[in-house]
A and B are shown apart, each in its own frame.
Chain A
Amino acid sequence: MQYLKNIRVVLSLLFFLPILLFFIDFTGKLPIELHQLLSLQWLPALLSLNMVMLSVLLILSVLFGRLYCSTICPLGVFQDIVSWKARFFFKRKMRFNFRKAQNILRYSILAITIIGFIAGSSIFIVLLDPYSTFGRIVSQFIRPIAIFANNQAAGLGSQMGFYALHEVNQSAFVPVSFGISLFFVLLVSILSWSKGRLYCNTICPVGSGLGLLSKFSVFKIAFDHSQCNTCGLCEKKCKSECIDSQKRTVDESRCVSCFNCISACKKGGINLDFRYKKSSAPPVDSNTTSSRRAFLVSSGAILATAAFAAPKKLISNNDLILDRKPIMPPGATDRSHFNKHCTACQLCITKCPMNVLKPAALQYGLSGIMQPHLVVSTEVFCSFDCDICTSVCPTGALKKSDLATKKRTQIGIAKFRRELCVVQVHEKDCGACAEHCPTQAVHMVQYKNGLTIPEVTENICIGCGGCESICPVHPYPAIYIEGTESQKLALKPKEAEKFTKKVDDFGF
């Protein structure tokens, strides 16, 4: 059964590399369909209630336990790679030892995450979903390095008259998401460097949840007492540190089905075994007692309430614009749906060709930390003919619709402040906002002396921010987008009258 590990490694790379490259890709060259891979992640599948993917994941878990953790989860594979790299720095190659499970910690985190979600806050899912944590690690650290390298090359190229590469804008630096991502990348890296999958087995709520499930998996890792000579090689190789070679036990709730132990054993003393063939294995002690459960419920409830006491406003009040409602990406429908279902994986942010999506700090409150919102700035607005964000969202936080619907989805409404407008203040033509308005919700009307001034028809405005992005008035533009709590459908803009006469004179 030595081949099992090799299959696992190949499978894990088949998931890991495309996901990694998809997150890094700043050229838009990779097919957008790659996002389908992400619907096979546990939390996205759960949140979007993707029945097909959920069935696949459930069947996998029922058959092989936590195979998800060792092959499909990109954060898991990332840890394996760190751990594998660390091997070159350790004198001893075999370095894991059995350790006791951190049951209180891991099941508390799981309970808090679930209770929090039921109570309406996704803060723990946002912080702890392993797929999303990985997404943030790539988007905050790996992708910027790749873009930096590209821009250096493009800069050199353009100096020599070579334009095959071109500069790509870096995503904005948002301290909150950078800080949180930094904390997790350090935590995950340090733990996996010397302790293997300790993160997955103590902090990750998906790991803990699957651990409960894997106690009933059809196949499990088990000792063959007739072959095992308790040499301990399997224990040294077990990155979950869940094998006690002396007692010949495997804590299945922590086993991620990596099959390293099987490969390590020279005797065939440890194997993937059919659980229900005969009642020979001694039962592993149960983890959740009723008293513990009570503890979990209470602690969970306390923490969840704490999360809701979110600071309402931490932003100063210099100008209406700084105080505006956040603008959700198209397809978010309404605030509660969006904030609850988004895991802040940052995929839409990395895919946005206009770079208008940025991770939120506290604009949505504590619960919506790092979730995407639109930040309009010079040349940065929501492109009319684009719905990439809604297409790639794996969690269903952004609901996919056809492009025609997206073109009418009101993510916000333009607010015109005439008293700041160039036309009124300087009495000169401008019209930049109307120029950029794809629906002509912002259009020019007669002002005086042949001048025209903008006017907004709110019911056809979709809030793309084209107007705000080009408004020359600084620092607070004369036209800006106010976000909405719930996204409605704008009316169809009225078409112009057709010109049907024939022109056969130049007019000069």
Chain B
Amino acid sequence: MKRRDFFKSAAALGLTSILTPSNLIGAPTEKSISVDKGTDLVAVMGGEPEAMLIRALNEMGGIKKYVKKGQTVLIKPNIGWDKAPEMAANTNPQLVGALVKLCKSAGAAKVIVFDHTCSNWEKSYQNSGISEAVMAAGGRMLPGNDESYYKEVELPHGVKLTKAKIHQAVLDCDVWFNVPVMKHHGGAKNSLSMKNLMGIVWDRKTFHLNDLHQCIADIATFHKKPALNIIDAYRMMKSNGPQGKSEADVVMLKSLIMSPDYVAADTAAVKLFSQVQPVDINTVKHIALAEKAKVGTQNLEKLNVKRIKMD
């Protein structure tokens, strides 16, 4: 409880820093400030994937704030591996299915889902359970296995990566959601929302060859940001990532983190991950590098963070 008290005071402190005279022009009440400012990050714990998603979205202003009638929506989960949902190598299929359903209910004309997989793409789509969940919810799976689907874009703010071939579904959609699964990662230390961006890109070897962390930070500077990063931590792979060896690598965390800010989402995720397996956030170098490129902030105290326990 002490920790919670600390957070409360920290949040209060954050609020007072917002309440500077310039912000007070127009005589806002405390309530209207939080509405204007909106929620920056939501963390939910203790529910089922769909319930946590709906709860977090409500805090963020509801799905209709992000998806308008007739729009083409893209959802980018992590479907990297030919592994069953219990292995937590891929995003939870129920979560992806629920998000498709919400987008459809908000009036989306098309909801498409794809990933540039590491294992055989058809087997990954199938074995992850995502293909089935998406189709059942009225969404469509797109292949990401061929270079012809990818178009080159400039990354003017990239340091090492100044251009990349990105899947045309990302380029063409009206709005997109980045839905990674939280897991341990041998190379990047943690695989979170920015690491998930490697799945919208064709040439991954370039990343590994030219400083993996810098390239991940560079791709996060891509101008078309997701409306939300929704980090699935219902099941979490704590070791032997990103594929995992057995279910002994998996922890039932029943959590979810949601934020439009890559850096904030990943910072929060590293801290949640550390509850199971301590990770020095400085070794997940792409987080700091992305912050340096002004992609987002690691300073959660400055943000309006909602923490919700559902049980």
Contact = CB atoms under 8 A, between A and B. Distances in A.
Given A435-B185, A440-B245, A450 B208 contact: no
A452 B207 CA distance: 16
A508 B305 contact: yes
A507 B248 contact: no
Interface in A421-444: 422, 426, 428-432, 434-440, 443-444
Given A385-B127, A495-B246, A430 B187 contact: yes
Interface stretch (A231-239, A301-309, A498-506): A498-506
A166 B246 contact: no
Nearest to B168: A158
Interface in B213-249: 213-214, 238-243, 245-246, 248-249
B149 A158 contact: yes
Given A378-B205, A496-B246, A429 B240 contact: no
Contacts of B246: 495-496
Given A432-B208, A495-B245, A508-B305, A386 B120 contact: yes
A18 interface: no
A503 B43 CA distance: 14
A442 to B, nearest CB: 9
B212 A431 contact: yes
Given A434-B187, A450-B280, A495-B246, A353 B123 contact: yes
B70 to A, nearest CB: 15
Interface in B33-83: 43, 45, 82
Contact of A508 (B214, B241, B300): B300
Nearest to A501: B276
B22 interface: no
Given A435-B187, A508-B300, A496 B271 contact: no
A28 B245 contact: no
Contacts of B212: 428-431
B285 interface: yes
Contacts of B238: 496, 499
Contacts of A505: 3, 275
B154 interface: no
Highest count of chain A CB atoms <10 Å: which of B186, B188, B309: B186
A395 B145 CA distance: 33
Nearest to A28: B122
A392 interface: no
Contacts of A438: 243, 245
B271 A508 contact: yes
Interface string A348-389: 000001100000000000000000000000100001111000
A383 B243 CA distance: 13
B243 A166 contact: no
Contact of B205 (A470, A498, A508): A470
B29 interface: no
Contact of A167 (B148, B248, B300): B148
B205 A496 contact: no
A496 B240 contact: yes
B146 A435 contact: no
A493 interface: yes
Interface in B237-275: 238-243, 245-246, 248-249, 251, 253, 255, 267-268, 271-275
Nearest to B7: A508
Chain B, interface residues (CB within 8 Å), range:
35 or more
A166 B267 CA distance: 38
Contact of B123 (A386, A426, A497, A507): A386
B275 A503 contact: yes
Chain A contact surface mostly: loop
A276 interface: no
Interface in B104-154: 118-120, 122-123, 127, 140, 142-143, 145-146, 148-149
B203 to A, nearest CB: 9
B17 interface: no
A473 B210 CA distance: 10
Interface residues of A, number: 48
Contact of A429 (B82, B213, B251, B277): B213
A144 interface: no
B43 A470 contact: no
Contacts of A430: 187, 208-209, 212
Contacts of B213: 428-429
A16 B243 CA distance: 42
A353 B148 contact: no
Contact of B148 (A155, A422, A435, A439): A155
Nearest to A428: B211
A209 interface: no
B245 to A, nearest CB: 5
Contacts of A295: none
A502 to B, nearest CB: 9
B188 A473 contact: no
B23 interface: no
Contacts of A444: 186-187
A30 to B, nearest CB: 14
Nearest to B211: A428
B307 interface: yes
Contacts of A450: 280, 282-283
Highest count of chain B CB atoms <10 Å: which of A161, A438, A496, A505: A496
Given A422-B208, A495-B245, A508-B305, A166 B143 contact: yes
Given A431-B212, A506-B43, A496 B186 contact: no
A472 interface: yes
Highest count of chain B CB atoms <10 Å: which of A28, A436, A440, A506: A506
A383 B123 contact: yes
A450 B284 CA distance: 10
A141 interface: no
A436 B81 CA distance: 9
B172 to A, nearest CB: 8
B268 A163 contact: no
18 contacts: A28-B122, A163-B142, A353-B120, A353-B123, A378-B205, A384-B119, A385-B123, A386-B120, A429-B188, A430-B209, A432-B187, A470-B118, A496-B245, A503-B251, A506-B255, A506-B271, A506-B272, A508-B305
Interface of A: 28, 155, 158, 161, 163, 166-167, 353-354, 378, 383-386, 422, 426, 428-432, 434-440, 443-444, 450, 452, 470-473, 493, 495-499, 503-508
Interface of B: 3, 43, 45, 82, 118-120, 122-123, 127, 140, 142-143, 145-146, 148-149, 172, 185-189, 204-214, 238-243, 245-246, 248-249, 251, 253, 255, 267-268, 271-277, 280, 282-283, 285, 300, 305, 307, 309
Closest 5 CB pairs of A and B: A431-B187, A472-B209, A507-B271, A434-B186, A472-B205
